[in-house]
A and B are shown apart, each in its own frame.
Chain A
Amino acid sequence: MNTPLRRVSLAMLAMIVLLLANATYIQVVEADSYRTDPRNQRVLFEEYSRQRGQILSQFGGYIIANVEETNNRLRFLRKYTDGPMYAPVTGYYSVRYGAGGLERAEDSVLNGSDDRLFVRRLSDLITGRDPRGGNVEVTVHPKAQEAAYKAMTAKGHTGSVVALKPQTGEILAMVSTPSYDPSRLAAHNADAQQESWNELIKDKGEPMANRAISRTYPPGSTFKLVVAAAALEAGETKDTQLTAAREIKLPKTNTTLENFNNNPCGGGSTASLETAVRLSCNTAFAELAGKVGTQKLTEQAAKFGIGQTDLQIPMRVAASGLGPIADEAALYQTGIGQRDVALTPLQDAVVAATIANGGVRMLPQLVKSIKAPDLEEISGFDPDEVERAMSRSNAEALRDMMIKSEENTQGDGKRSDLTIASKTGTAEHGNDPKRTPPHAWYVAFAPADKPEIAVAVLVENGGDRGLAATGGKVAAGIGRATMNAYLGGR
Chain B
Amino acid sequence: MAQPVSGDSAGQQPNPGAGHGATTPEAPTRRGTELVMLAFAALLVTGALMLVEANQEQQLTARIVYYGLAYLALFAVAHVAVRRFAPYADPLILPCVALLNGLGLVMIYRLDLAYDERAIQTGRDIEDAVPKQIMWTALALVLFLVVLTVVKDHRTLTKYGYTFGLVGLGLLALPAVLPAEFSEVNGAKVWVRLGSLSIQPGEFAKILLMVFFASFLVAKRDLFMAAGRRVLGIDLPRARDLGPILVAWAVSIAVLVAEKDLGSSLLFFGIVLVMLYVATERAVWVVAGLTLFAGGAFVAWSLFDHVRTRVDVWLDPFADYEHGGFQIAQGLFGFATGGVGGTGLGAGRPDVVPYANSDFITAAIGEELGFIGLAALLLVYTVLAMRGMRSALAVRDTFGKLLGGGLSFALIMQVFVVVGGVTKLIPLTGITAPFMSAGGSSLLANYILVALLLRISDAARRPTSSGGSKPRVAPKTPIAEAHTVMVERPS
Binding site for B on A (CB under 8 A): 1-6, 8-9, 11-13, 15-16, 18-20, 22-24, 26-28, 30-35, 37, 39-43, 45, 72-73, 188-191
User: Would you call B409 and A8 a contact (CB within 8 A)?
Assistant: yes
Q: In the complex, A378 Cα to B198 Cα: how many Å? A: 61
Please, which residues of chain B bring their CB within 8 A of the CB of A37? Answer: 333
Evaluate whether A5 and B419 lie within 8 angstroms (CB atoms) in the complex, with A18-B425, A40-B337 already known: no
Contacts of B401 in A (CB 8 A): 1-2, 5
Q: Is the CB of B332 within 8 A of A26?
A: yes
Is the C-beta of B429 less than 8 angstroms from some C-beta in chain A? no
B330-348 contacts to A (CB < 8 Å): 330, 332-340, 348
Provide the residues of chain B in CB contact with A15, threshold 8 Å.
412-413, 415-416
* Cα–Cα distance between A28 and B372 once the two chains are bound (Å): 11
Stretch at the interface among B185-193, B233-241, B271-279: B271-279
Shortest Cβ gap from B25 to chain A (Å): 23
Contact yes or no, B335 A23, CB < 8 A: yes
Q: Is the CB of A23 within 8 A of B389?
A: no
A28 to B415, CA, bound (A): 21
A2 close to B423 (CB less than 8 A) = no
- Is B316 interfacial (CB 8 A cutoff)? no
Task: Provide a sorted-by-A list of 18 A–B residue pairs whose CB atoms are within 8 angstroms.
Answer: A2-B5, A2-B393, A2-B401, A12-B389, A12-B408, A13-B386, A19-B415, A26-B335, A26-B336, A26-B424, A28-B339, A32-B336, A34-B336, A34-B337, A39-B333, A40-B330, A40-B333, A188-B121
Query: Across the interface, do A73 and B117 meet the contact criterion of CB distance under 8 Å?
Result: yes
Closest to A4 in B: B278
User: Does A5 contact B405, Cβ atoms closer than 8 Å?
Assistant: yes
Contact of A28 among B121, B371, B382, B489 (CB under 8 A): B371
The A-contacting residues of B in range 319-357, CB under 8 angstroms, are: 321, 329-330, 332-340, 348-349, 352
Tell whether, in the assembled complex, residue B121 and residue A5 are in contact, meaning their CB atoms are under 8 Å apart: no
Closest to B332 in A: A34
- Bound Cα distance A8, B274 (Å): 7
* B422 smallest CB distance to A (angstroms): 10
Given A3-B281, A16-B412, A41-B349, the answer on whether A23 and B484 have CB atoms closer than 8 Å is no
How far is B240's CA from A27's CA once the two chains are assembled, in angstroms? Answer: 50
Contact (A5, B392) CB under 8 Å given A41-B349, A190-B121: yes
User: Which of B375, B402, B412, B484 touches A20 (beta carbons < 8 Å)?
Assistant: B375
Chain A residues with CB under 8 Å of B381's CB are: 16
CB contacts (< 8 Å) of B329 on chain A: these are: 39
A84, B412: Cα distance in complex, Å: 56
Residues of B within 8 A of A (CB): 3, 5, 117-118, 120-122, 274, 277-279, 281, 321, 329-330, 332-340, 348-349, 352, 366, 370-371, 374-375, 378-379, 381-382, 385-386, 389, 392-393, 398, 401-402, 405, 408-409, 412-413, 415-416, 419-420, 423-425, 484, 487, 489
CA distance A2 to B375 in the complex (A): 28
Binding site of B, secondary structure by majority: helix, strand, loop or mixed? helix
Task: Point out the residues of chain A lying under 8 angstroms from B3, CB to CB.
Answer: 2
Point out the residues of chain A lying under 8 angstroms from B416, CB to CB.
15-16, 18-19
CB distance from B54 to the nearest CB of A (A): 16
Contact of A12 among B366, B385, B419 (CB under 8 A): B385
**Residues of B contacting A12 with CB < 8 Å?**
382, 385-386, 389, 408-409, 412
Report whether A34 and B278 are in contact in the complex, using a CB–CB cutoff of 8 Å: no
Inter-chain contacts of B386 with A (CB < 8 A): 9, 12-13
Tell whether, in the assembled complex, residue A23 and residue B336 are in contact, meaning their CB atoms are under 8 Å apart: no
Query: Min CB distance, B347 to chain A, in Å?
Result: 10
State A45–B367 Cα separation when bound (angstroms).
14
Judge whether B117 and A72 touch: CB under 8 Å: yes
Pick from A6, A27, A42, A43: contact of B340, CB under 8 Å: A27
Residue of B nearest to A96 (CB): B352
Tell me if A22 and B489 are in contact (CB < 8 A).
no
Q: Which residue of B lies closest to A71 (CB)?
A: B120
Chain B residues positioned under 8 Å from A19 (CB to CB): 378, 415-416, 419-420, 423, 425
A16–B382 alpha-carbon span in the complex (Å): 7
A-B contact sample (18 more), CB < 8 A, given A1-B281, A4-B281, A31-B335: A1-B402, A8-B389, A8-B405, A9-B389, A16-B379, A16-B382, A19-B416, A19-B420, A20-B375, A22-B423, A23-B366, A27-B340, A28-B371, A35-B337, A35-B339, A40-B333, A41-B349, A190-B122
Report A-chain residues with C-beta under 8 Å of the C-beta of B279.
Answer: 1
A5–B278 touching, CB < 8 Å: yes
A27: chain B residues at CB < 8 Å are 335-336, 338-340, 366, 370-371, 374
CB distance from B210 to the nearest CB of A (A): 14
Shortest Cβ distance from A1 into B: residue: B401
Shortest CB–CB separation between residue B386 and chain A, in angstroms?
7
A61 to B402, CA, bound (A): 79
> Which of A4, A13, A31, A42 is in CB contact (< 8 Å) with B352?
A42
Closest to A33 in B: B336
- Is A26's CB under 8 angstroms from B423's CB? yes
- Would A34 and B333 be within 8 Å (CB), given that A2-B489, A12-B408, A23-B371 are in contact? yes
Contact check, A16 vs B378: say whether CB atoms are below 8 A apart. Answer: yes
The CA-CA distance from A269 to B449 in the complex, in Å, is 104
A42 and B333 in contact, given A16-B382, A28-B339, A189-B122 (Cβ under 8 angstroms): yes
The chain B residue with its CB closest to the CB of A27 is B371
Minimal beta-carbon separation of B469 from chain A (angstroms): 26
Bound-state CA distance A167–B182 (Å) is 75
